[in-house]
Amino acid sequence: MHKIALEEERKEILKKYRSLLSVCRPNTSKEDRKLIRQAFDFAMQAHKDHRRKSGEPYIYHPIAVAKSVVEEIGLGVTSVVCSLLHDVVEDTDYTLSDIEEYFGEEVARIIDGLTKISDIFDQTTSVQAENFRKMLLTLSDDVRVILIKLADRLHNMRTLDSLPPKKQLKVANETLYLFAPLAHRLGFHAIKSELEDLAMKYTEPEAYNTIAQKLADTQEERTRFINTFTAPIRKSLQKENLEFTVLARTKSISSIWNKMKKKEVPFEEVYDIFAIRIILDSPESREKADCWKAYSIVTDIYRPNPDRLRDWISTPKANGYESLHTTVMSRQGKWVEVQIRTRRMDEVAEKGYAAHWKYKESKAGESGIDKWLKRIRDILKTSETDALDFIDDFKLNLFSDEIIVFTPKGELRTLPVGSTALDFAYSIHTQVGNNCLGAKVNHKLVPLSHTLKSGDQVEIITSAKQVPKPDWLKYVTTARAKGKIKTALKEARKKQAEEGKEILERKMRQLKIENTQENIQKLLDYFNLPSPLDLHYEVSIGKIGQKDLKNYLSEKERSGFFSYLKNPFARSKEPSAGKEPGVDPIRQQLKDKPDTLLIGDSLENLKYSLSPCCSPIPGDDVFGFVTINDGIKIHRNNCPNAVQLMSKYAYRIVKAKWMTNKSIAFLSGIRIKGIDDVGLLKNLTNIISSEYNINIRNIHFDTHDGTFQGTVMLYINDTQHLNNLIKKLKKIKGIQKVTRIGKMESESEA
């Protein structure tokens, strides 16, 4: 039986390999196919005894990654070879030298990059920013490293079912935190959407399954509507002799869910569940004209919403995206988004920068990917050493949406959303930023902290006497500006400390304190300062004077052995690297107990509390997070902060579940909207207090033009208790919507 199973596996492996070859074939020569076969045989031999968590042969994974690299990203033979070999050095006894000997220096270099970054995203540790920085340095050398890593993560997410729930959550949150934004930034819209959907399947399974079911239920109705809507457009486009394809793309489940939460509407009220895409087969010289011609045809048939026109053809997005978007009113009274683009633009939108390589570079002579990599190098150079700050800066500046602003001479500048006039000054030149006195936006004087909008024209006013101030760090959002300000402040502090050093030496001579390294260390301990530079700086600004030094001397004499170490006012020392006060003792306590924290267990003497950011109640899926000062905080799995906590601090996450044999009341809240009516509040409170026997902590309502909205904070036993109440309240005449605070409830609760 075992022999038959192995034979079946061999057949399946060959079938997958032939499938890979078939997607490569149109662009491969005989030599290329020979090289791919060599890599496949090498990987087969290396992984022959390995299996995935699902029990499948390990070779399934590299073949799937190689296929994604060709089919979904659009890379060539070298990347296919590297994908097949990407885990060989990390997981087997083969070395980089072996790879270089068999496949050459270029393949070895890419495999080296992939091996270096693999431990950043393993299953046990949190994201390590120093390694992440190394990954970006590798990326800026050869972008294929990150593209193969992206395909690797995509296949891991598609096969995440085989991992235990705790690891599923960690990998899903890490994907949301770094990989999905990275895919978006590199222009891979389809991969970004799939990664977000797959992550949501594990982070918010209830909402995911509800929306997936509703999409399936409404598929037939959508198809009928789309056919009716597109028929007159097709007819008119044919009349104008335009070559085209019309597609209908359904919005991803995660996008629908985000829209439901942002707008606080149910599934039925999300009007852009799908978009119509018109793809034109136009030569590059006629692309712009044909797109606007198609736009004119669509808006002649259907009335457009003037506020919803987006022209990314004249000004493409930073990730290379080009398209015309408009929203029009259908004859059935529904708004429909229509996207108009050419075949080239569509391929760039789906396959990102990889597709750019097929086409000539931008007219400016520098492609979008080059500009992006330049910005990565810039951040790597200017970033401070704080690891978590670095990741936040990276995410903020490279994963965010962007605005386009202009210099006084009309030169275009791209900045992250939320950038200020001071950010703009530093984007021009470090010296312009350091000497920035103020700014004029659209010819009006504004403060340095003024937030810029797309289309603003900005003029910077400078003065040679101006220098950066600590407050400036609050005025900027870009990593470049923050890094330059911190560098300038450090330099100024060093200069000031030089003066303080001379003053301190003079004062020590007067008080007959010998200027030795040992005595300087004792002064640092006494004043609780981290370095001599800080001591010299505080002396120079007058914070430490003659009187303080005399106090130090008298205390030293009084104790005989430096009782200043017992100084009750001294701040506690920072923990040594890798240690976190408050975390280690709790982790030690947890080692002596079951690996799951039981919430509500009276025998459990670990200090824990419910986090106010998501207010979990029994029935919610939860996890514990070990804090530095407040014991363990309990969060819901779909808490807004869960993505960051699980990505940055995976080692501080503990499993948690509720004890069900207790009847404890937990504070929760509901938000209610509807039409104002006499007696409505009385009906509400009767149901809550009398029928459901629930204690109300507080109630707040506002009315406006015949409508009302308000919140009620309640003491609830569990999620079932709360859901039953929500269902009942929705039946009251005049009430239109009832949702739990902090969560957009799925419609199954309606």
Whichever domain contains 466, its CATH number is: 3.10.20.30
| pLDDT (0 to 100) of residue 216 | 92
Neighbours of 216 (CB within 10 A): 9
pLDDT at 234 over 90: yes
pLDDT at 712 over 80: yes
Q: Is 590 found in the same domain as 560?
A: no
State the pLDDT confidence band at 28, using cuts at 50, 70 and 90: confident
The CATH number assigned to the domain holding 271 equals 3.30.460.10
pLDDT at 338 over 80: yes
- Cross-sheet strand order for the sheet of 622-626: 596-599, 653-658, 622-626, 632-636, 608-610
Q: Is 522 found in the same domain as 399?
A: no
Q: Is 320 found in the same domain as 219?
A: yes
Instruction: Give the separation between CA 370 and CA 466, rounded to whole angstroms.
Output: 34
Asked if residue 574 is part of any domain, the answer here is: no
Instruction: Give the separation between CA 675 and CA 485, rounded to whole angstroms.
Output: 53
| Domain termination residue (choose one: 538, 566, 594) | 566
List Cβ neighbours of 749 (8 Å cut-off, separation of 6 or more). 723, 726, 727
Asked if residue 61 is part of any domain, the answer here is: yes
| pLDDT (0 to 100) of residue 482 | 86
Instruction: Give the separation between CA 315 and CA 724, rounded to whole angstroms.
Output: 51
| pLDDT (0 to 100) of residue 567 | 41
Q: Is 113 found in the same domain as 168?
A: yes
State the pLDDT confidence band at 364, using cuts at 50, 70 and 90: very low
| pLDDT (0 to 100) of residue 231 | 94
Output the 3-class SS for 534-577: HHHHHHHCCCCCHHHHHHHHHHHHHHCCCHHHHCCCCCCCCCCC
Asked if residue 509 is part of any domain, the answer here is: yes
Taking alpha carbons only, the member of 156, 79, 66 closest to residue 354 is 79
* Identity of residue 35: L
574-581 LR contacts (CB < 8 Å, sep 24+): 574/530, 580/628, 581/628, 581/629
Instruction: Give the separation between CA 208 and CA 201, rounded to whole angstroms.
Output: 6
| pLDDT (0 to 100) of residue 154 | 92
* Identity of residue 366: E
Cβ contact 436:462 at 8 Å: yes
Over residues 579-592, the mean pLDDT reads 54
Number of residues written out for the chain: 750
| pLDDT (0 to 100) of residue 375 | 59
Tens of pLDDT along 78-98? 889 999 998 888 888 888 888
Q: Is 262 found in the same domain as 216?
A: yes
- Cross-sheet strand order for the sheet of 436-441: 444-446, 436-441, 458-462
- 278 forms beta bridges with 246, 340
Tokens of 99: 């790879």
Instruction: Give the separation between CA 624 and CA 317, rounded to whole angstroms.
Output: 40
List Cβ neighbours of 544 (8 Å cut-off, separation of 6 or more). 527, 535, 538
State the pLDDT confidence band at 325, using cuts at 50, 70 and 90: very high
| Domain termination residue (choose one: 356, 381, 399) | 356
Neighbours of 554 (CB within 10 A): 9
Q: Is 424 found in the same domain as 308?
A: no
Q: Is 290 found in the same domain as 231?
A: yes
| pLDDT (0 to 100) of residue 381 | 55
Instruction: Give the separation between CA 157 and CA 165, rounded to whole angstroms.
Output: 13
Q: Is 27 found in the same domain as 172?
A: yes
Describe the crossing of helices 368-382 and 129-141 by its angle, rounded to 10 degrees. Answer: 140
Give whichever of 197-211, 392-406, 473-487, 503-517 has the largest mean pLDDT: 197-211
What is the full DSSP assignment across 289-316? Answer: HHHHHHHHHHHHHSEE-GGG-EETTTS-
Helices and strands counted in the chain (H then E): 30, 20
| pLDDT (0 to 100) of residue 116 | 65
pLDDT at 124 over 70: no
Instruction: Give the separation between CA 481 and CA 434, rounded to whole angstroms.
Output: 9
Range of 405's domain?
A: 368-474
Asked if residue 361 is part of any domain, the answer here is: no
Residue 646 or 275, more confident: 275
Give whichever of 269-273, 422-426, 596-600, 604-608 has the largest mean pLDDT: 422-426
State the pLDDT confidence band at 654, using cuts at 50, 70 and 90: confident
Residue 112 or 154, more confident: 154
Tens of pLDDT along 166-187? 888 888 888 887 788 878 777 7
Asked if residue 686 is part of any domain, the answer here is: yes
Cβ contact 497:411 at 8 Å: no
Where in the sequence numbering do the catalytic residues fall? Answer: 90-91
Asked if residue 340 is part of any domain, the answer here is: yes
Residue 346 or 124, more confident: 346
Match 């030149």 to its residue by tokens. 429
Q: Is 408 found in the same domain as 279?
A: no
Q: What percent of the chain has pLDDT over 90?
A: 20
Element (H, E) at 235: helix 219-239
Taking alpha carbons only, the member of 579, 580, 631, 583 closest to residue 608 is 631
Asked if residue 425 is part of any domain, the answer here is: yes
Mean confidence (pLDDT) of the chain: 79
Asked if residue 727 is part of any domain, the answer here is: yes
pLDDT at 748 over 50: no
Instruction: Give the 3-state secondary structure of residue 328.
Output: strand
Quote the Cα angle for 578-579-584, to 5°: 130
Over residues 366-371, the mean pLDDT reads 54
Handedness of CA 59, 61, 67, 70 (dihedral sign): negative
Cβ contact 745:727 at 8 Å: no
Q: Is 733 found in the same domain as 596?
A: no
State the pLDDT confidence band at 578, using cuts at 50, 70 and 90: very low
The CATH number assigned to the domain holding 116 equals 1.10.3210.10
Tens of pLDDT along 453-495? 888 889 999 888 888 988 898 889 887 888 888 888 888 888 8
Q: Is 510 found in the same domain as 626?
A: no
| pLDDT (0 to 100) of residue 747 | 36
Q: Is 250 found in the same domain as 192?
A: no
Handedness of CA 361, 478, 453, 437 (dihedral sign): negative
Output the 3-class SS for 141-161: HCCHHHHHHHHHHHHHHHCHH
Overall number of domains in the chain: 6
Taking alpha carbons only, the member of 734, 728, 738, 736 closest to residue 687 is 728
| pLDDT (0 to 100) of residue 342 | 94
| Domain termination residue (choose one: 658, 684, 717) | 658
Label residue 734 left, alpha or beta by phi (over 0 means left) and psi (-120 to 50 means alpha): left
Tens of pLDDT along 54-68? 888 899 999 999 999
State the pLDDT confidence band at 75, using cuts at 50, 70 and 90: confident
Tens of pLDDT along 397-437? 555 567 778 888 877 787 888 899 999 999 888 899 999 98
Element (H, E) at 16: helix 2-24
The CATH number assigned to the domain holding 700 equals 3.30.70.260
